[in-house]
Chains A and B, each alone.
Chain A
Amino acid sequence: MRQDAPADSGSSDTSKLLLPAPQSASTMRRRTLWGVLVLLVAGLLAIVVWLAGIYEANQVQARLERDVAEAVGDVRAFFEHNAQGLQALQHADPTPNSWVIDASAFVREHREILRVEWRDSSLRLQAHADTPFRAPAFEHQGRREVPSEVAVACANARRFSGPAYASSYFVSMADGLGQEVMEFCLPLQNGTKLAGYLIASYALRDVLESALTRPMTRNYQISFTEGDGTRLAVFGSSRRGSRVFTARQLMDLPGTTLVLRMDSWRAAPDLFPNVLTALLTAMSIALVAVLGLLGEDMRRRFRAEHELADVLAFRKAMEDSLVTGLRARDLQGRTTYVNPAFCQMVGFTADELLGAGTPAPYWPPESGEEYRQRQLVRHTGNAPPREGYESVFMRKDGSRFPVLIIEAPLINAQGVQTGWMSALLDISEQRRVEELSRAGLERLQATARLATVGEMASLLSHELNQPLAAISGYATGSLNLLRSEPQDGAAIAAELGVALQRIAEQSQRAGKVIKSVHDYVRRRDQVREAVAPQALLDAILPLVHLQARQLSVRVQTEVEAGTPSVQCDRTMVEQVLLNLARNGMQAMDSPKIPERSLLIRVRALQTNGSSKKRVEFSVADQGEGISPEVQQQLFKPFFTTKPEGMGLGLSLCRTVVEQHGGSLEFAANSPRGTVFTFALPAAEVA
């Protein structure tokens, strides 16, 4: 929690602080894009709706035109039909009385005809029949004389030798209303001679009613108009509606011309004039909505990615800043992840480490097997200790260093273990400090052990200096005497004799000093005891291991079973073993040595009965061996190859071994390095 909180706030902060300009620019661009998209869709929609509206209007108009043409046809046919009906009245030379009966029947069938008249060729009225459906229209004006319209119609009829019409005119009625009437004149032929006229007065409104079919009259308002648009007669429903579709069709009748006009009222155009448009619109809206959702989703995803990137960057910065090495391995032991600190620690690059299996490049070769075993144990499910364990890794240059490894199983989001995560601390510095304090302690012990030797050396140098100084004095004095100007020869000889005597005495004295040292060493013979070889090793191993860890050397000891105890000066032999072990480890302290192991081995020597049983000690290193020049001087006192060495170690070792009746030998080790070997007498079995 504590880790996450700063991560979140940090990420949002950085995004706000670091990316203000691109953020707003991209927002602006996105908004613009969205605006354009919405505009385009709206435009498309509007165009579609508009086009659909136009299309629909055109459709309506076209139907109207068709209908009006049909209506004109109907009306024309109707007129012809009536003309034929009227013609039929004259069949079989009717008398006026019989004609009136037929004509009345005819008028009864045709309610659009107000009156039928039979006139002779001079337009004199022979007979007439009025419609029974309404009050006689012409009563009050009388039709004895020929109305002008009739005259016109008949003139036309005579001229055409066929039926003809006159222009319509308005007849006012008794009830105050009135109607438009059109006269029709049918010439009657008797052979080739004009026999008379049949005059029919049409009420134009009723013509419309009778001539046209119901559906047409129901849907449209139909009217006759004059050429200038004056409405003469109207029939059909008039509907409310804002849009009016109008179609006009000229109807040419012999003698006159009428215009048939049809009006269609439409309601205000629907927003979505038809299903297709509605569907299209709905789909467009759905499209925009989906796009919107998609955009929102994308933005959310983008934001999530951004946050993820921030968190990742934060994690990376965290990992990079760590001094703790991090390493992840999969279940097969392949390295799958390393952080920079780990790379720096071992000196390999991440590329060299990633994917590396066992043995890992940073495992010291001498420990590879041990580490593999450890890994196997780990992978069989034995969790490593929580507080970590210590191990030794190798840098790329071959140097070893101790690490503290804290390992934990790596469990993925599905809860399945995919490997191991390790945190590694380079504890060489810590180890060095420990080592220093331990080394200090050790040095103190060593100093205490060596104190007697140092004192002895100091004492010896003083004891030897005295006689040497005396000898030097006498010798120089003697020379001075001999060089001085000649005197009494006998006196000088006496003086010189005294001096030489003294010189001899002092030489003997110096010899005595040396002998006393020898005696001291010899006295150590008295302290020889029987010691088990393992006890000797146990005594020095703590000190050896201390240095071994420092130099990354693996120390092995082998004590052959049944090896007898040895008769020796325990302290001295321990010193010899310690000395040889140290020399061996120091010989391997070079980056060039990959395999650093030191083998201390003890075994009983096969004896051939006569000689005493002996126990052989050998110390084998894997170092660079000893060059021939060095070999010659190896045991010389004060010869050393170490900068801080005194050159007494091996020479003392040899002295000690020789005092024990053995000899210190060395040989080349296989495949490399050196083996130092010495044998000590086995203790007498009591």
Chain B
Amino acid sequence: MEPVIDARVFVVDDDASVREALAWLLRSRRLHSEAFESAPAFQQQIEGAAGAPPEQACCLLLDVRMPGMSGLALFDWLIERELHRAIPVIFLTGHGDVPMAVEAVKRGAFDFCEKPFSGNALVDRVEQALALSALLLQARRQAARVRVRQAELTERERDVMRLVVGGLPNKLIADRLNISIRTVEVHRSRVFDKMEVKSAVELANLLRDDPS
């Protein structure tokens, strides 16, 4: 009974027994979880990673009512760092906190779950949050990759690439850059190699995903 899915479920709850129970429940569905006893403990974890989102699909089960920093305060903190999309948040609420939780959902939380929760429904939502997180992670990685490859291009190659994506034929590019068509063709094939694409259309698609 080892978690097989490469994902991290963060649990922030001041109550140890709830933390343990949730971890146990998630483990029964083969999900790895990390428990934090308070909001600041989780903040430390994020800041330890230099504020970057985790490199796996993840989600946060967040208790609303905690001594010290409340769940909502932590959520605000995540919004400030634009991490609330990378880490989908599922609030755990008591009966009286529902309106508060609804408000949080409107502001971008993934969902909320009333305590005492019916276990598997919560895990189902956790899995959906993880799937969303995974999608976002993949998109982020793709973008990162494109950025890395773009960084490998020379100045002239980058110019040629911009014009190729702009849809200009080689002759016009040569005129525009005041170089020979032959040189343009060389640059063009290098760009395609470095960007790991086979055609101008593929290149344009790649760059459109990450306009930076």
Contacts and interface: CB of A to CB of B under 8 A. Distances in A.
B29 A467 contact: no
Contacts of B1: 481, 484, 487, 491-492, 495
Given A465-B115, A470-B17, A470-B18, A477 B94 contact: no
Nearest to A492: B1
B116 A505 contact: no
Contact of A509 (B17, B119, B123): B17
Interface residues of B, number: 24
A28 B24 CA distance: 115
Given A458-B96, A461-B96, A505-B17, A480 B115 contact: no
Contacts of A474: 21, 24-25
A239 to B, nearest CB: 137
Contacts of A458: 96
B77 interface: no
Nearest to B96: A458
B116 A502 contact: no
A499 B15 contact: no
Contacts of B29: 477, 480
Interface in B96-129: 96, 115-120, 123
Contacts of A461: 94-96
Most chain A Cβ neighbours within 10 Å, of B24, B65, B117? B24
Contacts of B119: 472-473, 475-477, 479-480
A468 interface: yes
A470 B21 contact: yes
A471 B116 contact: yes
A316 interface: no
Interface in A481-509: 481, 484, 487, 491-492, 495, 498-499, 502, 505-506, 509
Contacts of B22: 473
A465 B94 CA distance: 7
A interface SS class? helix
B92 interface: yes
Given A465-B116, A478-B28, A481-B28, A473 B18 contact: yes
A474 B23 CA distance: 9
B118 A476 contact: yes
Nearest to A468: B116
B20 interface: yes
A468 B24 contact: no
A412 B94 CA distance: 77
B117 A472 contact: yes
A474 B29 CA distance: 12
B158 interface: no
A505 to B, nearest CB: 7
A480 B120 contact: yes
Given A461-B94, A472-B117, A473-B21, A466 B15 contact: yes
Contacts of B123: 476, 480
A69 to B, nearest CB: 144
A469 interface: yes
A356 to B, nearest CB: 58
Contacts of A470: 15, 17-18, 20-21
Contacts of B18: 466, 469-470, 473
B94 A476 contact: no
A502 B21 contact: yes
A483 B94 CA distance: 29
Contacts of A465: 94-95, 115-116
A487 B123 CA distance: 22
A478 to B, nearest CB: 7
> A interface, how many residues as a size bin?
20 to 34
A501 to B, nearest CB: 11
Contacts of B24: 473-474, 477, 498-499, 502
B21 A462 contact: no
A512 to B, nearest CB: 12
Nearest to A498: B24
B27 interface: yes
A681 to B, nearest CB: 39
B94 A462 contact: yes
Nearest to B119: A476
A492 B20 CA distance: 17
Interface string B52-78: 000000000000010000000000000
A464 to B, nearest CB: 9
A65 B28 CA distance: 167
Nearest to A466: B15
- A458, A467, A477, A491 — which one has the most chain B CB atoms within 10 A of its CB? A477
A471 B21 contact: yes
Contacts of A509: 17
Interface in B1-59: 1, 15, 17-18, 20-22, 24-25, 27-29
A477 B27 contact: yes
Most B-side CB within 10 Å, residue of A462, A466, A474 = A466
Contacts of B28: 476-478, 480-481, 484
A489 to B, nearest CB: 12
A476 B26 CA distance: 10
A206 B21 CA distance: 182
Given A477-B28, A480-B29, A487-B1, A468 B21 contact: no
A476 B17 contact: no
Nearest to B14: A466
A502 B20 contact: yes
Interface string A436-474: 000000000000000000000010011001111111111
A473 B61 CA distance: 13
Nearest to A499: B24
Nearest to A462: B94
Interface string A557-574: 000000000000000000
Given A475-B119, A480-B25, A480-B28, A466 B96 contact: no
Contacts of B95: 461, 465
Contacts of B117: 469, 472-473
B25 A476 contact: yes
Given A465-B95, A478-B28, A506 B118 contact: no
A498 B28 CA distance: 13
Nearest to A475: B119
A498 B21 CA distance: 11
Nearest to A480: B28
A629 B92 CA distance: 40
Contacts of A492: 1
A616 B116 CA distance: 45
A509 to B, nearest CB: 7
Nearest to B92: A469
B118 A462 contact: no
Contacts of B115: 465-466, 468-469
B100 to A, nearest CB: 13
Contacts of B118: 472, 476
A585 B119 CA distance: 48
A502 B19 CA distance: 12
A450 to B, nearest CB: 16
12 contacts: A458-B96, A468-B115, A471-B21, A472-B116, A473-B119, A476-B120, A477-B24, A478-B28, A480-B119, A480-B120, A481-B28, A502-B20
Given A473-B117, A477-B28, A480-B120, 9 more contacts: A461-B96, A466-B18, A466-B115, A470-B20, A470-B21, A472-B21, A477-B119, A499-B24, A506-B17
Going nearest first, the 4 A-B pairs with the smallest beta carbon separation are A476-B119, A473-B21, A468-B116, A480-B28
